[in-house]
A and B are shown apart, each in its own frame.
Chain A
Amino acid sequence: MSEPIFKLTNINYSYPGNFPALKDINLEIFKQEKVALIGANGTGKSTLLTLLDALIFAQSGEFSAFGKTITEKALDKAVNQLEFRKRVGFVFQNPDVQLFCQTVKEDILFGPLQLGIEKKIMLERFETIAEKLRIKHLIDRSPNRLSIGEKKKVAIASVLIIEPEVLILDEPTAGLDPQTTRDIIDALERENQAGKTIIMATHDLHIVEEIADLVHVFGGEKSIIRSGDVAEIMKDHDFLQKNNLMHVHVHRHIHKDN
């Protein structure tokens, strides 16, 4: 079997003030895998994604990416930083934090410009992505004037244009209409077919089966309580209910007592 692209060994992370966010995380992610992190609110999914994108660093344990140990010190070197950023893309949960430029076009081109991608290649990629995600008509607009679905698509485009090997997404379909959700699922499926690794955190169990092969379930103890095949975990309704991922469907019959 090939080497994992991400390997986490005994990872622990606490937010300032000693609020534990991740406890004893052990995880291996391989190339072209589709991985979903599921769990109730506040179980540490987003923190783990932020750590995988090397925006925060664990207080203990070891995190390695592409065979190299990732530490704050190692990423201080500009060469390592740019190398890592070219290979890993992160779509934030709130698109408003990711769209900080004045126009959609500037936002999408921000990444390639910082990473020194050649202008001609960058503009070619821009055209292709705008076409694929159906956002061509938005490129001159300010992000202030976009709907939440449009913002999400633009945020994804701003990462896809970098052509990273790994795509990390935090709640990519939360609060979106069915058509936008479908567009995003299709885009992720295309990227995976093209060889990209997809890692995402979600609450939306309806899409998990479609866009993940492997699922890691986070529990209230801020650690992974179960990992396994998507179909197997999705069938275990008792387990999902116990971990606040599914609720018992209750409905009333109007004529029940008549």
Chain B
Amino acid sequence: MDSIKKEKNQERCLSLRRANTFLGKTLLDIVKMLQASVSSEATAAKAGVLQRCDPRFKLISCLIMLVAVVLTREIIVLLAFYSIILLAAIVSKVKLGFFLKRTLLFIPLFSLFIVLPAIFEAVTPGDIVVRLNFFTKEIGITRQGLLSAAILLTRIIDCVSLSVLLMLTTRHNVLLKTLRIFKLPSVFVMTLGMAHRYIYLLLEMVYNSFTAIKSRVGIVKSARTGRRIIGLHMGHLWLKSYKMQNQVYDAMVSRGYTGEPKTLDDFKSHPRDFFLLVFSIIILAGVICLNQFLN
């Protein structure tokens, strides 16, 4: 009887430990995310080709290239685009493994589930390549379906890679600043920047508080206590951020803020920036011409 009780108790302890590590793991992942962000900032600080470009030109060129990718209907051209992106990543001193992990691991995997139905004859009729037995029914995979799925997937990979490359080779703050070229109000851009800045600070606070709780409480003994601690903690964080928000506003007023922030635009363009822009325009024009030729 005693051994059964002991076993049950052990099981309970283990499950509680697992629940506790779940929270700890989540916070650790958040910290990892912070570290990843720091490492991407380090990439943006390297003296690579794209890092040296004016961010305004880089952003516009990236948008033009994205349009070109979206308009492309040939898989060969899409693959050529991908080669250009990889080459750009290499000359910009972006670690290829890190870049591929960021671009190929999750987003294309999710899109794979979206494009999957397109390969079947029910969605894309055409020449059957393989027939599959699905319970009592037979489903065929078509060549046209496979091709359109491959085109869509490659297009997604190209778009994701382009955006990630832009993010990796440009500092967050500079990227936000470039949004002003689209005539976004400076207060909007500044609020975005402040949100970015304080999210990290609050995350750090959460992590530190969690460590403090862990050092005092150890393993949370029941789910109820756990919920209570988390609830109190959330309330405390809310109060802290509310207080901080008032102080930040005071700090802004103290330095002359009167409701409309004034910001410094210190962008400088070089001939290489125009080259980047012209290159992307030529690519877009080439894609449009190719589409017309194929039609």
Residues of A within 8 A of B (CB): 50, 53, 55, 78, 81-82, 85-86, 89-90, 92, 94, 96-103, 106, 109-111, 113-116, 119, 140, 142-145, 158-159, 162
Please, what's the 1-or-0 string for B132-143, where 1 marks a CB less than 8 Å from any CB in chain A? Answer: 000000000000
Are the C-beta atoms of B173 and A90 separated by less than 8 Å?
no
Are the C-beta atoms of B176 and A102 separated by less than 8 Å?
yes
Are the C-beta atoms of B172 and A102 separated by less than 8 Å?
yes
Question: Could you tell me the distance between the alpha carbons of A114 and B190 in the complex, rounded to whole angstroms?
Answer: 13
Are the C-beta atoms of A55 and B250 separated by less than 8 Å?
yes
- Please judge, given known A-B contacts A100-B197, A144-B197, A145-B38, whether A113 and B251 are in contact too, CB under 8 Å: no
Chain A residue with Cβ nearest B190: A101
Question: Could you tell me the distance between the alpha carbons of A55 and B252 in the complex, rounded to whole angstroms?
Answer: 10
Question: Could you tell me the distance between the alpha carbons of A72 and B200 in the complex, rounded to whole angstroms?
Answer: 34
Are the C-beta atoms of A114 and B261 separated by less than 8 Å?
yes
- Please judge, given known A-B contacts A86-B256, A162-B255, whether A113 and B248 are in contact too, CB under 8 Å: no
Are the C-beta atoms of B201 and A114 separated by less than 8 Å?
no
Q: Is the interface of A mostly helix, strand, loop or mixed?
A: helix
Instruction: Judge whether B258 is part of the interface by a CB distance below 8 angstroms.
Output: yes
Inter-chain contacts of A109 with B (CB < 8 A): 264
- Please judge, given known A-B contacts A106-B173, A113-B264, A142-B173, whether A96 and B201 are in contact too, CB under 8 Å: yes
Within 8 A of A (CB), among B115-162: none
Within 8 A of A (CB), among B243-278: 244, 247-248, 250-258, 261-264
User: What are 17 residue pairs bridging A and B, where the CB atoms are less than 8 Å apart in the complex?
Assistant: A55-B250, A81-B258, A82-B258, A85-B254, A85-B255, A86-B256, A90-B251, A97-B248, A100-B194, A102-B196, A109-B264, A114-B261, A114-B262, A143-B197, A144-B200, A158-B255, A162-B255
Q: Which one, B197, B201, B248, B254, contacts A90 given CB within 8 A?
A: B254
Chain A residue with Cβ nearest B243: A97
Instruction: Judge whether B74 is part of the interface by a CB distance below 8 angstroms.
Output: no
Are the C-beta atoms of B193 and A85 separated by less than 8 Å?
no
Are the C-beta atoms of A100 and B253 separated by less than 8 Å?
no
Of listed A55, A85, A86, A114, residue having the most chain B CB within 10 A? A114
Shortest Cβ distance from B254 into chain A, in angstroms?
Answer: 5
Q: Is the interface of B mostly helix, strand, loop or mixed?
A: helix
Shortest Cβ distance from B102 into chain A, in angstroms?
Answer: 20
Please, what's the 1-or-0 string for B185-208, where 1 marks a CB less than 8 Å from any CB in chain A? Answer: 000001001101110110000000
Inter-chain contacts of B194 with A (CB < 8 A): 100-101
Chain B residue with Cβ nearest A109: B264
- Please judge, given known A-B contacts A100-B197, A142-B41, A144-B200, whether A55 and B173 are in contact too, CB under 8 Å: no
Chain A residue with Cβ nearest B244: A97
Interface size class of B (residues with CB under 8 A): 20 to 34
Within 8 A of A (CB), among B228-248: 244, 247-248
Inter-chain contacts of A85 with B (CB < 8 A): 253-256
Inter-chain contacts of A53 with B (CB < 8 A): 254
Chain A residue with Cβ nearest B203: A144
Question: Could you tell me the distance between the alpha carbons of A46 and B187 in the complex, rounded to whole angstroms?
Answer: 29
Are the C-beta atoms of A114 and B41 separated by less than 8 Å?
no
- Please judge, given known A-B contacts A101-B193, A142-B41, whether A92 and B200 are in contact too, CB under 8 Å: no
Inter-chain contacts of A55 with B (CB < 8 A): 250, 253-254
Inter-chain contacts of A145 with B (CB < 8 A): 38, 41
Question: Could you tell me the distance between the alpha carbons of A143 and B196 in the complex, rounded to whole angstroms?
Answer: 11
Question: Could you tell me the distance between the alpha carbons of A53 and B252 in the complex, rounded to whole angstroms?
Answer: 12
Shortest Cβ distance from B186 into chain A, in angstroms?
Answer: 10
- Please judge, given known A-B contacts A50-B250, A97-B247, whether A111 and B197 are in contact too, CB under 8 Å: no
Are the C-beta atoms of A114 and B256 separated by less than 8 Å?
yes
Question: Could you tell me the distance between the alpha carbons of A111 and B41 in the complex, rounded to whole angstroms?
Answer: 26
Shortest Cβ distance from B45 into chain A, in angstroms?
Answer: 8
Inter-chain contacts of A82 with B (CB < 8 A): 256, 258
Shortest Cβ distance from A99 into chain B, in angstroms?
Answer: 8
Are the C-beta atoms of B197 and A114 separated by less than 8 Å?
no
Inter-chain contacts of B261 with A (CB < 8 A): 110, 113-114
Chain B residue with Cβ nearest A53: B254
Chain A residue with Cβ nearest B262: A113
Shortest Cβ distance from A149 into chain B, in angstroms?
Answer: 17
| Among all A-B residue pairs, the 7 with the closest Cβ atoms | A102-B173, A114-B256, A111-B255, A97-B247, A115-B256, A85-B256, A98-B251
Chain A residue with Cβ nearest B204: A144
Question: Could you tell me the distance between the alpha carbons of A94 and B250 in the complex, rounded to whole angstroms?
Answer: 12
- Please judge, given known A-B contacts A81-B258, A113-B262, A114-B261, whether A97 and B173 are in contact too, CB under 8 Å: no
Shortest Cβ distance from B77 into chain A, in angstroms?
Answer: 37
